[in-house]
Amino acid sequence: MSEAGLSIAHLPWGWIGLLVVLGLWMLGARNRIVALRGAVSTAWQQVDAVIKARQQAIGALLDAALPLLTAERGAVDAVVGAQIQVATAAEVLRKRPTREEPTAVLARAEIGMSSALARLVALIETHSELRYETEVKAQLRALADQAPRLAFARESFNEAALRYNAAIDQFPTRLLNGLFRFERAGTL
């Protein structure tokens, strides 16, 4: 055998054992991080389902209330614009829910949605003919039911993201971030 060639027979058993332990540790750490990333994705699916249900309720509310809110077009346009922003941000996040930047964009869009929706609901409350409209009442009830579901889903998502972030920030696991392209997850 040439001097340049190194065979496994020339390595001391201690080095071989160290390499095996290191390889097994890397495999275990990677699998743990991948499982935590999967938990973030699962939690995102819950948030996404509530966002979709809320979008449908808002659409139905606008359809029912729009004929009577012709003078309040600014409030309606604000809700429609906020819906578009939330839908766009959610679509981006759907592809990879563990990315920090799209999560921040969705969080900002959700703030805009809350504000626009609160304004619309307040306007509906001031119009007596809308308050007692059956379809409007049903959609307002649906929106009210979505709020705690969304809060719970967000909390689950944030907890999963924080566990994932803590795991990838922990030494020595953080040494694997570049190798396996683990990146920080955002919170809502």
Domain boundaries along the sequence of the chain:
10-180
Output the pLDDT for position 1: 46
With vertex at residue 107, the alpha carbon angle to CA 103 and CA 111, rounded to the nearest 5 degrees, is 170
H or E, element range at 24? helix 13-65
Give dist(CA 25, CA 97) in Å, integer.
Answer: 26
The DSSP letter of residue 129 is H
Give dist(CA 1, CA 53) in Å, integer.
Answer: 69
Q: Does residue 2 carry a pLDDT above 60?
A: no
Closest CA to 38 of 94, 92, 89, 98: 98
Q: Within 10 Å of residue 39's Cβ, how many Cβ atoms?
A: 18
Q: Does residue 138 carry a pLDDT above 70?
A: yes
**Is 10-180 CATH 1.20.1440.20?**
yes
Output the pLDDT for position 10: 63
Average pLDDT, the chain: 89
Closest CA to 103 of 48, 169, 38: 48
Has this prediction a pTM greater than 0.75?
A: yes
Closest CA to 182 of 30, 68, 39, 13: 30
Name the pLDDT band for 9 (thresholds 50, 70, 90): low
